[in-house]
Chain A
Amino acid sequence: MHEASIVQEIIDITTEQAKQNNAHKILEVEITVGAGAMIETDLLASAFDIMKGETMLEEAVLKINKVNLKLHCLNCGKISESDKMVSMECPYCHSFETIIESGREMLINKIIAE
């Protein structure tokens, strides 16, 4: 849904970083996306391929590291992991009193440029 907005941010941030390092071409972008971030990674990859044209990233490959959503249950204390955000329910005790420990991140880790 909003993957195009996310790709535009990736292009803007990485272009700025490359320029600061006197590079003129980006060959690789590595990002981390949590399962709890509302991003469809397949759509993100397609949007990236369409939008990178006529930018410094024209030849760039997008590497996506997916990290699981970690839920901490306040009822039984257990931590559960999931590769999708399907529910906030604790799989052990079925309580919904859970806190998102991690897995909502959307981060640009690094770029390889020349």
Chain B
Amino acid sequence: MELKDINVNIPILSKNIKEGENNKKIFESKKLLTINLISSPGSGKTTLLENITPILNEKGFSSLVIEGDIATTRDAERINKKDIKCVQINTHGICHLESKMIRKAFEQFNIKNEKILFIENVGNLVCPAEFYLGEHEKVAILSVTEGEDKPEKYPLLFKEASCILLTKVDLLPFLDLSEEDFILEIRKLNKNSPIFLVSKKDKNSYHKFVEWLIQKYFSIFGEAQ
């Protein structure tokens, strides 16, 4: 048998990137700002969505949510209670979401005039940072109880995030850390992206992030309603 030396030169994740680009075209055709939420498990991603989606609704920015979890539909059940359209993806052990999973989940939505699609990624600071889903923005979430060293330990996500949310800030008085400690560590890696401090104990704490989302929407799709 003759041996063939075949030059390939193809990025390993090229299919995922291409499918991500296709997703983005679909999202843009539906005028959906798409946000990929990435954090450790238990940092408060679902709580964030439970709190901001009603505020966004009031402002005329209704949302769709894709929930990524390794197992269970518990997060989707929580979001559905808020009357937000939500589709659950169970990855069955896979530690991140991929573009193809997003496309299949997205096909299940009955879209009316929603303006924002939130993708709540699988709780993990490593793998989701490697897989593009077609999102406009990556948002990193860090809870104060995880410690201020996480940005430096997981630099890729914090470097790439276009916005960073510090959650559970009402617990700061019980920790040996201040809000400045966290901001200093985040700023080491990311000089420019906005950092918002939020807590479910203070509903007003979400407004700045909501405003940031609305501004992002306008910057992509224009102000004409």
Contact A38 B8 (CB under 8 A): no
Query: How many chain A residues touch B (Cβ–Cβ < 8 Å)?
Result: 36
Contact A9 B13 (CB under 8 A): yes
Contact B12 A108 (CB under 8 A): yes
Contact A113 B11 (CB under 8 A): no
B163 to chain A, nearest CB (A): 19
Query: How many chain B residues touch A (Cβ–Cβ < 8 Å)?
Result: 33
Contact B12 A13 (CB under 8 A): yes
Contact B15 A106 (CB under 8 A): no
Contact B4 A5 (CB under 8 A): no
Contact A6 B12 (CB under 8 A): yes
* A37-B55 Cα distance, complex, nearest whole Å: 38
Is B72 part of the binding interface, using a Cβ–Cβ cutoff of 8 Å? Answer: no
Given that A1-B95, A88-B155, A96-B188 are contacting pairs, would A106 and B12 also be in contact in the complex, using a CB cutoff of 8 Å?
yes
Contact A2 B94 (CB under 8 A): yes
B69 to chain A, nearest CB (A): 16
A106 to chain B, nearest CB (A): 4
- B79-132 with Cβ < 8 A to chain A: 94-96, 98, 124, 126-127, 129-131
Given that A96-B189, A114-B1 are contacting pairs, would A108 and B156 also be in contact in the complex, using a CB cutoff of 8 Å?
no
Q: Is the interface of A mostly helix, strand, loop or mixed?
A: mixed
Fill in one digit per residue for B1-35: 1 if any A CB lies within 8 Å of its CB, else 0: 11111111111111110000000000000000000
Is B159 part of the binding interface, using a Cβ–Cβ cutoff of 8 Å? Answer: yes
* A87-B1 Cα distance, complex, nearest whole Å: 48
- A58-114 with Cβ < 8 A to chain B: 85, 87-89, 96-97, 100, 105-114
- A26-58 with Cβ < 8 A to chain B: 27, 31, 36-38
Is B170 part of the binding interface, using a Cβ–Cβ cutoff of 8 Å? Answer: no
Fill in one digit per residue for B118-159: 1 if any A CB lies within 8 Å of its CB, else 0: 000000101101110000000000000000000010011001
B9 proximity list for chain A (CB < 8 A): 107-110
Contact B159 A12 (CB under 8 A): no
A72 to chain B, nearest CB (A): 13
Contact B130 A112 (CB under 8 A): no
Contact B127 A27 (CB under 8 A): no
* A105-B130 Cα distance, complex, nearest whole Å: 11
23 pairs of residues in contact across A and B, judged by CB atoms under 8 Å: A1-B95, A2-B127, A5-B98, A9-B13, A9-B15, A9-B16, A13-B10, A13-B12, A36-B156, A38-B126, A38-B127, A85-B155, A88-B189, A96-B188, A97-B191, A105-B11, A107-B10, A107-B11, A109-B8, A110-B6, A110-B7, A113-B4, A113-B6
